[in-house]
């Protein structure tokens, strides 16, 4: 008969979710490069950007109207409008090079540079154009000095920090770079992460599985997740449950990448090889094996020098939760991002059913969003960790932290959108 | 003296925000292509994907343990464990090809295929291995028939819809494709959108502006926003305020792209040429010029046959709001996405100060998020539409819809994260 291996190995030594986060945060950016601003959105700024000049540079009109001397117009009223002589027009991109004298005005568009002599702009709606005098304007209410102007440096003073180092640039951030004439920027290099699945039961997706086999899907998901987190993913073929093949693969990939993520094989049992392999790669080695969370407990994290190696749980739900809550923030740090909230849940929703859990554990509920009477509710998606269907149906995750044992139905909880 | 053009043109005929959304939704996808699943995340599925087979295909063990015949174990208890003869072992990827007979068991890992004859799995924790009988196991509590199993089709039944057409694929959706052996998928083509800025006051970012000039930043921002919305952006040089040059440019770009977005020149005044140009391109022409929103009112939308042309307001804040609330959902439709919420605000935050507005208008507040006593508050970012600084400082947008005239301090409002 077949020899009987024990399916039970060493129990996991779970660490608290907060401690796992602390250890994962201790990775450092992988380097920098220069990119044109055309390709800067989504990248992480490596150094702060300071304003090289005031913005705006000049005193500008905030309105379509007339640049005037406010002292001329103190008596203006709709019944007794004050006539001014229009001595020029400032259109977009043009300036008026003369001086506005007493009794004079210059037509000006929004954003036009205020001409010398003028100290305010009167908006077009408070003026009338007399029918018989083409170069005159009547002002029905005078502006105070400084009215309807944008002052130099009102948006940014020269020397002020415009964008902080470590910020992941949004599309709108590019406006600040272009407006200041910054056409290339130093950004952190995208971390190059190798990814593969382990397990003798796995076959590639383009093969028909034999009985007992399943197709590898996790390496595809992880590669897409890594890319969505700002990394560059390099997918590698499935590795069977074999200590030396696994060791050789991780060591080889680690030599040519900034980190390695492998899927499956991290729970305790006859197939638990990841922990052994990661422990034998080099210092500091395994930093934790097992997090006190649900789902996602059998997660292993090691560092070899500065390079992270993560063993992800093989179940789709567990893998997704661990990626969003732990690996994504780690990759953000590896990509140079600063001030990343670990697991951002900026908005609140009402939880659709009461939920209980042990006090030490941190749980992640897969939820669907529904609106009821104008309020957002999060309905917990049923289904086990092994299923794919519940991952597809979830709109987001709700984190129930350690220290909490019960959330009541209808309680407001933080939502992390997927 | 300079001839005096009136800075005032025709007032805008504002349409309601809901009506603008309705008109923008009436664009159709631009075509389809086939991509490997490696590159499918972020793309929009062109046809639904159905399960070609049950998932799982076989009856699987949900636990590490022993496959057994439940009828053998009805009398099992910790005091009187029932001994079984272990006749095989099922490791990852292997099967047991015999039949489990009365009094027999097969060791099985989680995910292993249940062998013939067995009708349940007993979890390892409820068994003992007798010291003197290497091919025996003692069971301390018998499972009911069907216990600890995953049934065929439990995740997906053959023929069921796995992913709907029109869904933008998330990284985790790729799991379903790979697991079913789908290695290429039809997706909608990314809309190719030409983008440029108009305005005689604009110079390229790599030039030092003359007095009265400013650098073009909007075309860079819009290009990055278009890419972030799933489109392909093609940036074109600044066009001055000249009717025929503007007309020629839009017509030329429209011939070779799926749509055109231009920035600036859409408010009413001497520089309002966009409306005229878009009206002269072809049927159906201008669908609206002016939306009853703040900021972002001077937005113009035309269609030339199926192709959208959008004239964006030139101010950074206005442009960002109009892109997020109107153009992004339009581009999603153009890219084939179905069921897109127009302006998703799934979570709620408390508004940091009371806000009043006219009943017909829809407003968008730029907000920063702060947490106070465990609750998320949205503080309104000060600063005018012309500033860039307030766009950079905002974490999100809060929409105050038409029909609402006042939001109280502390009221829960929907948040759209930037």
Q: Flag whether residue B214 sits within 8 Å of chain A, measured between CB atoms.
A: yes
Instruction: Work out the average pLDDT over B244-263.
Output: 96
Query: Percentage of residues in chain B with pLDDT exceeding 90?
Result: 82
CB contact under 8 A, B316 and A175: yes
Neighbouring residues of A179: CB distance < 8 A, sequence distance ≥ 6: A55, B205, B214, B215, B217, B388
Instruction: Work out the average pLDDT over A256-280.
Output: 80
In the beta sheet, which residues pair with residue A83?
Answer: A138
- Helix (H) / strand (E) element for B293: namely strand B293-294
Residue environment code for B114-128, b if the CB has 16+ CB neighbours within 10 A, otherwise e: bbebbbbbbbbebbe
- Distance (Å) of CA A268 to CA A12, A191, A271, A360, B134: 7, 30, 7, 21, 22
Query: Percentage of residues in chain B with pLDDT exceeding 70?
Result: 95
Mean pLDDT over the full length of chain A: 92
Q: Flag whether residue A362 sits within 8 Å of chain B, measured between CB atoms.
A: no
In whole angstroms, what is the distance from residue A121 CA to residue A142 CA? 9
- Helix (H) / strand (E) element for B17: namely helix B17-25
Instruction: Report the chain B residue with the minimal C-alpha distance to residue A51.
Output: B389
In whole angstroms, what is the distance from residue B31 CA to residue B263 CA? 26
CB contact under 8 A, B155 and A388: yes
In whole angstroms, what is the distance from residue B380 CA to residue A56 CA? 23
Q: A400-404, B222-226, B270-274, B357-361: which range is least confident on average?
A: B270-274
pLDDT at position A3 is 35
- Per-residue pLDDT at A344 exceeds 80: no
> B 279-308 residues with CB below 8 A of A?
none
Options 3.30.565.10, 3.40.50.1100, 3.40.50.2000, 3.90.105.10; CATH for B33-54+165-188 is: 3.90.105.10
In the beta sheet, which residues pair with residue B36?
Answer: B184
Sign of the dihedral through C-alpha B84, B85, B91, B94: negative
Of B55, B92, B348, the CB nearest to A347: B348
Count other C-beta atoms under 10 Å from residue B46's C-beta. 18
Query: Percentage of residues in chain A with pLDDT exceeding 90?
Result: 82
In whole angstroms, what is the distance from residue B308 CA to residue B299 CA? 13
In whole angstroms, what is the distance from residue B367 CA to residue B390 CA? 9
Q: How far is CA A336 from the centre of its chain?
A: 12
Neighbouring residues of B12: CB distance < 8 A, sequence distance ≥ 6: B267, B268, B289, B290, B297, B298
Query: A204-210: long-range contacts at Cβ-Cβ below 8 A with a sequence spacing of 24 or more?
Result: A204/A237, A204/A238, A205/B37, A205/B177, A205/B178, A205/B179, A205/B181, A205/B182, A205/B183, A206/B181, A206/B183, A207/B181, A208/B181, A209/B57
Confidence tier at B3 by pLDDT (50, 70, 90): very low
Q: What CATH code is assigned to B17-31+190-334?
A: 3.40.980.10
Instruction: Work out the average pLDDT over B349-363.
Output: 96
In whole angstroms, what is the distance from residue A354 CA to residue A404 CA? 12
Of A150, A215, A218, the CB nearest to B386: A150
Q: Are A180 and A52 in contact (CB under 8 A)?
A: yes
pLDDT at position B93 is 84
Q: Flag whether residue A172 sits within 8 Å of chain B, measured between CB atoms.
A: yes
Q: A289-293, A342-346, A363-367, B370-374: which range is least confident on average?
A: A342-346
CB contact under 8 A, A162 and B6: no
- Helix (H) / strand (E) element for A332: namely helix A328-334
Count CA within 13 A, CB hemisphere, residue B350.
13
- Domain range list for chain B: 17-31+190-334, 33-54+165-188, 60-150, 347-417
CA angle B412/B413/B416 to nearest 5° reads 140
Q: Are A212 and A81 in contact (CB under 8 A)?
A: no
Q: Are B381 and B368 in contact (CB under 8 A)?
A: yes
The DSSP symbol for B332 reads H
Contacts B175 to A, Cβ<8 Å: 217-218, 220-221, 316, 388, 391
Q: How far is CA B355 from the centre of its chain?
A: 30
Neighbouring residues of A242: CB distance < 8 A, sequence distance ≥ 6: A200, A273
Closest CA to A12 of A308, A327, A272: A272
pLDDT at position A267 is 53
Count other C-beta atoms under 10 Å from residue B52's C-beta. 13
Closest CA to A348 of B399, B342, B416, B346: B346
In whole angstroms, what is the distance from residue A140 CA to residue A9 CA? 89
Count other C-beta atoms under 10 Å from residue A132's C-beta. 5
Higher local confidence (pLDDT), B195 or A347: B195
Exposed / middle / buried, residue B102 (Cβ in 10 Å: 0-12, 13-18, 19+): exposed
pTM over 0.90: yes
Contacts A124 to B, Cβ<8 Å: 7-8
In whole angstroms, what is the distance from residue A23 CA to residue A303 CA? 10
pLDDT at position A134 is 83
Please state whether the peptide bond connecting residue A8 to the residue before it is cis, i.e. omega within 30 degrees of 0.
no
Q: Which two tokens stand for residue B243?
A: 């009717």
In whole angstroms, what is the distance from residue B120 CA to residue A183 CA? 66
Q: Flag whether residue A116 sits within 8 Å of chain B, measured between CB atoms.
A: no
Q: Are A76 and A142 in contact (CB under 8 A)?
A: yes
Contacts A129 to B, Cβ<8 Å: 6
Q: A205-214, A269-278, B79-88, B385-394: which range is least confident on average?
A: A269-278
Confidence tier at A8 by pLDDT (50, 70, 90): very low
Count other C-beta atoms under 10 Å from residue A50's C-beta. 14
Dihedral (C-alpha) A42, A43, A45, A50: value to the nearest 10 degrees?
-50
Instruction: Work out the average pLDDT over B118-131.
Output: 94
User: A-B interface: how many C-beta pairs under 8 angstroms?
Assistant: 319
Q: Are B109 and A269 in contact (CB under 8 A)?
A: yes
> Could you tell me the end-to-end alpha-carbon distance of chain A, in angstroms, rounded to an integer?
49
In whole angstroms, what is the distance from residue B267 CA to residue B269 CA? 6
Neighbouring residues of A184: CB distance < 8 A, sequence distance ≥ 6: A34, A35, A36, A37
Contacts B212 to A, Cβ<8 Å: 58, 90, 93-95, 112-113
The DSSP symbol for A172 reads T
CB contact under 8 A, B171 and A5: no
Domains A17-31+190-334 and A347-417 share a fold: no
pLDDT tens for each residue of A162-221: 999 999 999 999 999 999 999 999 999 999 999 999 988 899 999 999 998 999 999 999
| Architecture of the domain spanning A33-49+159-188 | Alpha-Beta Complex (3.90)
Exposed / middle / buried, residue A211 (Cβ in 10 Å: 0-12, 13-18, 19+): exposed
Instruction: Work out the average pLDDT over A248-257.
Output: 97
Q: Which two tokens stand for residue B403?
A: 């029909």
The DSSP symbol for B326 reads I
CB contact under 8 A, B270 and A91: yes
Q: Which two tokens stand for residue B44?
A: 């929009």
In whole angstroms, what is the distance from residue A319 CA to residue A108 CA? 60
Dihedral (C-alpha) A39, A41, A46, A49: value to the nearest 10 degrees?
100
Q: Flag whether residue A202 sits within 8 Å of chain B, measured between CB atoms.
A: yes
Q: Are B390 and B382 in contact (CB under 8 A)?
A: yes
Q: Which two tokens stand for residue B10?
A: 């025709």
Count other C-beta atoms under 10 Å from residue B129's C-beta. 14
Confidence tier at A5 by pLDDT (50, 70, 90): very low
Q: What is the CA radius of gyration of chain A?
A: 32
pLDDT tens for each residue of B258-293: 999 999 865 545 456 888 898 899 999 999 999 999
Q: Are B178 and A217 in contact (CB under 8 A)?
A: yes
Confidence tier at B223 by pLDDT (50, 70, 90): very high
- Per-residue pLDDT at B324 exceeds 50: yes
For B244, the 3-state DSSP assignment is helix
In whole angstroms, what is the distance from residue A95 CA to residue A116 CA? 10
Query: Domain A347-417, what fold?
Result: Beta-clip (2.40.340)
In whole angstroms, what is the distance from residue A219 CA to residue B310 CA? 40
- Distance (Å) of CA A3 to CA A143, A212, A241, B129, B253: 96, 19, 18, 13, 72
Query: Domain B60-150, what fold?
Result: Molybdopterin biosynthesis moeA protein; domain 3 (2.170.190)
Task: Please state the φ and ψ torsions of residue A83, each to the nearest 5 degrees.
Answer: -80, 140
- Distance (Å) of CA A220 to CA B198, B258, B336: 43, 31, 23
pLDDT at position B48 is 97
């Amino acid at each position: 008969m077949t020899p009987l291996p024990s399916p039970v190995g060493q129990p996991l030594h779970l660490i608290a979710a907060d401690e796992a986060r602390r250890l994962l945060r201790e990775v450092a950016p992988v380097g920098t490069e220069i990119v044109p601003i055309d390709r800067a959105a989504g990248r992480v700024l490596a150094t702060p950007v300071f304003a090289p000049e005031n913005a705006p540079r000049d005193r500008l009109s905030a309105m379509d109207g007339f640049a005037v001397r406010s002292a001329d117009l103190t008596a203006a009223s709709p019944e007794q409008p004050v006539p001014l002589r229009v001595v020029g027009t400032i259109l977009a991109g043009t300036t008026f090079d003369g001086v506005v004298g007493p009794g004079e005005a210059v037509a000006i568009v929004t954003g036009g540079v205020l001409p010398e002599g003028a100290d305010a702009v009167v908006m077009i709606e408070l003026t009338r154009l007399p029918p018989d005098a083409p170069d005159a304007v009547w002002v029905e209410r005078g502006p105070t000095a400084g009215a309807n102007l944008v002052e130099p440096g009102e948006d940014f003073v020269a020397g002020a920090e415009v964008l902080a180092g470590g910020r992941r640039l949004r599309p709108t951030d590019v406006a600040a770079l272009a407006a200041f004439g910054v056409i290339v920027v130093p950004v952190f290099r995208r971390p190059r992460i190798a990814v593969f699945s382990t397990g003798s039961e796995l076959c590639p997706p383009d093969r028909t599985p034999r009985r007992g086999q399943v197709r590898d899907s996790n390496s595809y998901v992880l590669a897409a997740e890594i890319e969505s987190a700002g990394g560059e993913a390099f997918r590698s073929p499935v590795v069977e449950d074999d200590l030396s093949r696994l060791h050789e693969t991780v060591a080889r990939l680690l030599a040519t990448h900034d980190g390695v993520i492998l899927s499956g094989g991290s729970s305790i049992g006859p197939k638990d090889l990841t922990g052994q392999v990661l422990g034998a790669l080099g210092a500091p080695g395994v930093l934790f094996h097992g997090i006190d969370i649900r789902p996602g407990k059998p997660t292993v994290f090691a560092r070899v020098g500065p390079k992270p190696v993560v063993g992800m749980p093989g179940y789709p739900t567990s893998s997704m939760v661990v990626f969003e809550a732990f690996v994504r923030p780690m990759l953000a740090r590896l990509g140079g991002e600063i001030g990343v909230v670990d697991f951002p849940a900026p908005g609140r929703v009402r939880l659709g059913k009461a939920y209980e859990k042990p006090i030490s554990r941190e749980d992640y509920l897969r939820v669907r969003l529904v609106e009821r009477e104008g309020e957002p509710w999060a309905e917990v998606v049923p289904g086990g960790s092994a299923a794919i269907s519940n991952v597809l149906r979830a709109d987001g995750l709700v984190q129930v932290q350690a220290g909490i044992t019960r959330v009541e139905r209808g309680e407001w909880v933080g939502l992390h959108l997927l």
